[in-house]
Chain A
Amino acid sequence: MAKRVLCKFFAHGACLKGEHCEFSHDWKDPPNNICTYYQKGVCSYGSRCRYEHVKPSRPESSASSSSMVSLPPTAESSVGVTTVPGVLPELSALSRPYLPPNNPAWNLESGDSGHDDSLEDSDFGELRDLKPADRPICSFAAAGAGNCPRGGKCPHVHGELCPTCGKHCLHPFRPEEREEHIKTCEKKQKHLESLRRSQEIECSVCLDRVLSKPTAAERKFGLLSECDHPFCISCIRNWRNSSATSGVDVNTALRTCPICRKLSYFVIPSVIWYYTPEEKMEIVDSYKGKLRSIDCKHFNFGNGNCPFGTSCFYKHMVKPGSYMWKYHRPPPRRPTARRSNFVDMDSFLDAFEHLIRDDEPDMFDVDFDTDNDHAYRDGRLEEVVLRHLGAEDGDTVIAKDIRLSDFLSNMNIR
């Protein structure tokens, strides 16, 4: 009975409690769509409220299931609002007197009548009987500085202080959950800290602060593998991709750091700047890790010849029946159609094949210097930039056209 109402966090795909959640994670269960503010007096959203405005039908309710409200017919039988553990009494106290509309619901003091207290006791009596580990954590104590309006009478477990986020949200009797929270909390804190420190850093090319650029795609650093000079990703990519028409030397200028002229073979996008070699290593490794999960379009499952060979950052998966699988060597490298001065049938076909291949999503975006024209043959820089999507937590997600369900299940956003 504890899992009758659909968890609203789960409904949005973001319930962090998982199995421990006291609400239902079953889509068949109805959501609690009743506006509690309206029931208690006034909802400031009025007719624009996205919750249902249903008047409580107090007099009919009995003491034990105190507040069966007139729910829509489908939900009526299964939803007993106050019997659901975890619904805060303040929000579910439907038995409270109907207040005049000039008194907003959030001004209500909790526990303002004896009637309420007795009700809460009976409602949460069963909660108190649960083992401490099974009792949910009190969100009032967690959100505020540890002061729950219900004090000692609170049927929920009051969490212990998390030293990182300063909230009382550590469940005293669930060690795994505690550990999990502390871990994610510290990670988040570290990320925020480095994000804060990264604010001041300017790109040496556009002379702007990287994290103050107008669009989200631009608010990203481009790390060079061999030195520690900061640039924004668009500037450094622009520079490395700028054509030879400007007369700038490719190997002694274009592929080097604009400041120290150290040759770097690739650029790593990152939302944060680093302060220690370990931090840089972490960023580089996570970027490479992401690329390794994507199939190399040049290698083409063993049917193509990747110009980067074994040093390619992308996945080289040999499919049974492919050229590589049969002959244990990559197929001969085709001459690029642009370079050849004569046209034979093979290169003619190759040229077409190249066109067809380029219609596929172009995943290639690491600037190796070995084969400039291969990676940027069509000069689609924007597309390359767009394929680096920022996750909410600032991680770089490299988009790939797969089905949404696969995408959700594979995505590894922390």
Chain B
Amino acid sequence: MIDFSRVQKELQECSRDMEASGIKVTPVSDNLVNLSGTIPGPIGTPYEGGIFKIDITLPDGYPFEPPKMHFVTKVWHPNVSSQSGAICLDILKDQWSPALTLKTALLSVQALLSAPEPDDPQDAVVAQQYLRDYQTFLGTARYWTETFAKTSSLGVEEKVQKLVEMGFPEALVRSSLEAVGGDENLALEKLCSG
């Protein structure tokens, strides 16, 4: 049985120091079993500036069993599956402790972003790239952050508005934005070149 009073307390605690940690946990449904967390990409890493969304499901035995977490936002990282978002982190598996909370677990995930463990990979392709061609890895990771972790900063209509104001026809703006996956900078590049 999930200790809901503890979950409630954790949520309160989390919203109290959201400013300081940047970590946010919000319930998805009313039952407090499915939650959604967001972590900012650590500064000084290719994930800087991105906001990463993590889906959290609490097992029946929580807090005596670890919460199930996976990235909803696509991440290019040796310990995160680029396909499913599954996270390879010991504290979410055999090293879980009931003294950990959702916030501290998310902090650990954030720390994992800044300190990858390529020797214990979740995504072999990423890990190989990390070990063999670090520069390419950095580029890809940065690109994925730009593409997937930053789109939510502005609404689609606002982007369209912005680009239309620059003097591009609205229909073209919309098709370009769609083609680049919603990134206004990439869309601008495409519009200028094309």
- Within 116-133 of B, Cβ neighbours of A (below 8 Å) are at none
Is B168 an interface residue when CB atoms closer than 8 A count as contact?
no
- CB–CB A242/B94 < 8 A: no
- CB–CB B96/A248 < 8 A: yes
- CB–CB B64/A238 < 8 A: yes
Please, which residues of chain B bring their CB within 8 A of the CB of A242?
A: 61, 64-65
CB-nearest residue of chain A to B3: A206
Is A154 an interface residue when CB atoms closer than 8 A count as contact?
no
Known contacts A208-B5, A238-B64, A242-B64; A259 and B97 CB within 8 A of each other:
yes
CA distance A258 to B104 in the complex (A): 13
Known contacts A206-B3, A206-B6, A239-B64; A246 and B97 CB within 8 A of each other:
no
- CB–CB B3/A258 < 8 A: no
For A203-242 the 0/1 string (1 means CB < 8 A from B) is 0111110000000000000000000010000010011001
Is B171 an interface residue when CB atoms closer than 8 A count as contact?
no
Is B29 an interface residue when CB atoms closer than 8 A count as contact?
no
Known contacts A258-B99, A259-B99; A205 and B63 CB within 8 A of each other:
yes
Please, which residues of chain A bring their CB within 8 A of the CB of B78?
A: none
What is the minimal beta-carbon distance from B9 to any residue of chain A, in angstroms? 5
- CB–CB A207/B94 < 8 A: no
Is A261 an interface residue when CB atoms closer than 8 A count as contact?
yes
- CB–CB A207/B9 < 8 A: yes
Is A372 an interface residue when CB atoms closer than 8 A count as contact?
no
- CB–CB B61/A249 < 8 A: no
- CB–CB A253/B6 < 8 A: no
Known contacts A206-B3, A206-B6, A208-B5; A246 and B95 CB within 8 A of each other:
no
Known contacts A206-B6, A207-B9; A249 and B65 CB within 8 A of each other:
no
Is A247 an interface residue when CB atoms closer than 8 A count as contact?
yes
Chain A at the B interface: SS class: loop
- CB–CB B97/A261 < 8 A: yes
CB-nearest residue of chain B to A236: B98
CA distance A280 to B96 in the complex (A): 28
Number of interface residues of B (CB under 8 A): 19
How many A-B pairs with Cβ below 8 Å?
54
- CB–CB A246/B10 < 8 A: no
Is A252 an interface residue when CB atoms closer than 8 A count as contact?
yes
- Within 171-221 of A, Cβ neighbours of B (below 8 Å) are at 204-208
Known contacts A242-B65, A246-B65, A248-B65; A205 and B99 CB within 8 A of each other:
yes
Q: Which of B5, B9, B65, B98 has the most CB of A within 10 A?
A: B98
CB-nearest residue of chain B to A252: B95
Please, which residues of chain A bring their CB within 8 A of the CB of B93?
A: 247-248
Known contacts A205-B63, A248-B65; A258 and B95 CB within 8 A of each other:
no
CA distance A253 to B95 in the complex (A): 6
CB-nearest residue of chain A to B99: A258
- CB–CB B94/A253 < 8 A: yes
Contact of A205 among B59, B61, B65, B98 (CB under 8 A): B98
CB-nearest residue of chain A to B13: A207
CA distance A229 to B64 in the complex (A): 17
Please, which residues of chain B bring their CB within 8 A of the CB of A249?
A: 94-95
For B51-66 the 0/1 string (1 means CB < 8 A from A) is 0000000010101111
- CB–CB B99/A246 < 8 A: no
Please, which residues of chain B bring their CB within 8 A of the CB of A253?
A: 94-97
- Within 82-114 of B, Cβ neighbours of A (below 8 Å) are at 93-100
- CB–CB B98/A235 < 8 A: yes
Please, which residues of chain A bring their CB within 8 A of the CB of B96?
A: 246, 248, 253
CA distance A259 to B100 in the complex (A): 8
- Within 242-264 of A, Cβ neighbours of B (below 8 Å) are at 242, 246-249, 252-253, 256, 258-259, 261
Known contacts A252-B95, A253-B97, A258-B97; A246 and B5 CB within 8 A of each other:
no
- CB–CB A248/B3 < 8 A: no
What is the minimal beta-carbon distance from A54 to any residue of chain B, in angstroms? 55
What is the minimal beta-carbon distance from A261 to any residue of chain B, in angstroms? 7
5 sample A-B contacts, Cβ–Cβ < 8 Å, listed by A number: A205-B6, A207-B9, A208-B6, A242-B64, A258-B99
What are the 9 tightest A-B residue pairs by CB atom distance, in nearest-first order?
A258-B99, A246-B65, A249-B94, A258-B97, A205-B98, A242-B64, A204-B99, A259-B99, A207-B9
